[in-house]
Amino acid sequence: MNKFKLLLIIFCLGFSSHKYYVSTSLFNFTDTNSLQITIRLFKDDFKDALKKKYSINRVLTDQVLIDSTFHSNINNYFNSFLTVSFDGVKNKLNFLGLENKNEMFVFYLEIEKLPSFNVISLDNKLLFDLYSEQQNIIHVKKNGIKKSFISRLNNSILSLNI
């Protein structure tokens, strides 16, 4: 978490000012044939995105989001902007919930009983509907090996042979 807050802050401490839109997600393939997805988004960014997509006018407090009131919206949001496909077949994400970590929300999503596949495609468009400068940093972990990628508006799809 801290790393990406650092990313934000440095541009303030160094010489200001340009707001840096960045998120991170970890895609972890477990020994039990599941894909565990942990996503960190800045709270204010995510609240704005949710309000915009679902025309929510009320103030969204942290607690209201963590309680299950908006979970179906959140589930829908992630399934709209984050696509995981195995050999071209899209797989639904199961949204487990979110946690409050300082200025970030941490979201937990999962796909259990993965099909056997050759190529996995990750299309991470989270918050692209809000900011064209948004960058989503993606870590993929399988069998202890970790690789990192960046998803941008013009280049959001990542296909991996793993």
Partner 1 sequence: MNYKKIVLLVLGFFVSFVGFSQDAKERNQENINVNKFRQLYQEFSSPNMFRTASGAPGPAYYQQQADYKMDIELDDENKRIYGSETITYTNNSPDNLEYLWVQLDQNIRKKDSPSLLIDGGGVSPAYLPSGFTKEFLTDSFDGGFNIEYVVDENKNPLKHFVNQTMMRVDLPNILKSGESFSFSIKWWYNIQDHVNQDGRSGYESFDKDGNRVYIIAQFFPRMAVYNEVEGWQNYQFWGDGEFALPFGNYDVKITVPSDHILDATGELQNRKNVFSKEMIKRYNKAKKTYDKPVMIVTQAEAEEVEKGFSKKKKTWHFQAENVRDFAFATSRKFIWDMMAVKIGDKDVMAVSMYPKEGNPLWEDYSTVVVAETLKTYSDYTFDYPYHKAISVHAKQIGMEYPMICFNFGRPNIDGSYSDDVKFGMIGVIIHEVGHNWFPMIVNNDERQWAWMDEGINTFVQYITEQKLGKDIPEIIYPLENFPSDRGPANMITRYMGVDQNFLAPIMSNPENVYSLGPNAYGKPATALNILRETVMGKELFDHAFKTYSKRWMFKHPSPEDFFRTMEDASAVDLDWFWRGWFYTTDYVDIGIKEVNQYFVSNEPSVAVKKIMEERGITKLRPLVFLENFENDTNSIKDKDPLDNSKLLNNYLNENELSNKEVPKFFYEVVFEKPGGLVMPIIVDFEYEDGTTKRITYPAQVWRKNDNEVKKLITSNKKIININLDPDLETADIDTSNNSWPKKQDESEFDKFKSKVKG
The contact set with partner 1 (CB under 8 A) reads 1-3, 5-19, 28, 36, 38, 96-97, 99, 102-103, 106, 108, 110, 131-133, 139, 146-148, 153-155
Q: Please list, in sequence order, all residues whose beta carbon lies within 8 angstroms of the beta carbon of residue 139, skipping any fewer than 6 positions away.
A: 24, 25, 26, 27, 146, 147, 148
Nearer to partner 1, 19 or 89 (CB): 19
Q: Is the CB of residue 21 less than 8 Å from the CB of residue 131?
A: yes
CB of 41 to partner 1, least distance (A): 14
Residue nearer to partner 1 on the CB measure, 69 or 87: 69
73: its two tokens: 């919206």
CB of 131 to partner 1, least distance (A): 8
| CB 26, CB 141: distance < 8 Å | yes
Nearer to partner 1, 30 or 159 (CB): 30
Residue among 6 and 162 whose Cβ is closer to partner 1: 6
Cβ 147 to partner 1 shortest distance, Å: 6
The answer to whether residues 142 and 126 touch, using CB atoms and an 8 Å cutoff, is no
Q: Is 102 left (phi over 0), alpha (psi -120 to 50) or beta?
A: left
* Minimum distance, C-beta of residue 99 to partner 1, in the bound complex (Å): 6
